[in-house]
Amino acid sequence: MTVNDAKQSLILRLETITDSPLFEANEIIIAALKINRSDLILCGKNPITKADKRRIDRLFKKRKKGVPLQYLLGEWEFYSLPFKVGQGVLIPRGDTELLVDLALDELEHTKGATVFDLCAGSGAIGIALQKNDPSALVTLVEKSKKAFKYLTQNAALNNSPVKFIRANIFKWRPKHRADMVICNPPYITKNEMKSLQKEVKNEPRLALFGGNDGLKYYKFLTQNAGRFLKSGGKMLVEIGAAQADDVLNLFKANGFEYVKVFKYINQNDRVVLGTFNS
């Protein structure tokens, strides 16, 4: 059996479980054979060993059970940077890059800004921000032990001098207030939790569930903004597509000015930004 044969057979099997069988087959073969993308094209006619075939089949079996592709690969790209991912940490999403874009825009004329990335997960947001604004002093806060392990690995992998603290944001009391808070909190409602995709169910509940109405973290962050933010500081949060009005109102009711909602390229509301005026 050649690499191409293995790929064709894998595509046929993946067709029953994913909308992107070709993409996933390529990724699984690259991971199983420990080759790079250009090798995949060059070595299509090479025979594969029984051990390679077994590795491909093992990965497929896990994928069929609903394990996200990203967990199988062990690494995923965010903001063109590599991030280690696996069971216990949220996979960084493309949509979240908007939060980084907006934070970088806001910091464009500020050197050495202090930034808290709360609910940092893999560290994707804070690390991407720091790599693109090396003057920023970024602190990542994360509660989950498993996610925190990935976060520290990802800071090292990206050679990023971010600080990290393992803490519950509801209890954490920073010594200094920051110029900016960025946060992609859990925001799935109780009802939405019942109908999650099989893959998403494999991601940690602590990373997803935002209380019955999905607003628990936004309420806390806006009502306690003075604990984290200097007056004049910016808060940027990612939101669910149906949460813009609720989160906008929470910002406005809790001392924020210039509050705006931003859409991702798919036209879903995705980020709320406001300036704290206490």
Ligand X SMILES: C[S@@+](CC[C@H](N)C(=O)[O-])C[C@H]1O[C@@H](n2cnc3c(N)ncnc32)[C@H](O)[C@@H]1O
Q: By the criterion CB under 6 A, which residues form the site for ligand X?
A: 90, 92, 96, 119-122, 124-125, 141-144, 147, 168-170, 184-186, 206-207
For ligand X, the closer CB: 4 or 224: 224
Give whichever of 207 and 229 is closer to ligand X, judged by the CB atom. Answer: 207
Cβ-based nearer residue to ligand X, 55 or 131: 131
Give the 3-state secondary structure of 104-134.
HHHCCCCCCCEEEEECCCCCHHHHHHHHHCC
Q: Kindly state the smallest distance separating residue 26's Cβ from ligand X, in Å.
A: 24
What is the nearest approach in angstroms of ligand X to the Cβ of residue 248? Answer: 20
Nearest approach in angstroms of CB 142 to ligand X is 5
Q: How many CB atoms lie within 10 A of CB 36?
A: 9
* Nearest residue (CB) to ligand X, 166 versus 230: 166
- If the CB atoms of residues 92 and 174 are measured against ligand X, the closer one turns out to be 92
Q: How far is the CB of 203 from ligand X (least distance, A)?
A: 8
For the CB of residue 119, give the shortest distance to ligand X in the complex, in Å.
3
| Those residues with Cβ within 8 angstroms of residue 140's Cβ, 6 or more apart along the chain or in another chain | 117, 120, 123, 126, 127, 151, 155, 162, 163, 164, 165
How many Å separate Cα 20 from the centre of its chain?
21
Q: Residue written as tokens 């910016």?
A: 234
By Cβ distance, which residue is nearest to ligand X? 121
Nearer to ligand X, 62 or 93 (CB): 93
- Backbone φ, ψ for residue 260 (5° rounding): -135, 155
Minimum CB distance to ligand X, residue 25 (Å)? 26
Backbone angles phi, psi at 114, to 5 degrees: -90, 135
Please give the helix or strand (H or E) that residue 180 lies within, else none: strand 178-183
User: In Å, how far are 9, 18, 89, 213 from 24, measured between CA atoms?
Assistant: 12, 8, 21, 34
Q: What is the spatial distance between Cα 48 and Cα 67, in angstroms, rounded to a whole number?
A: 25
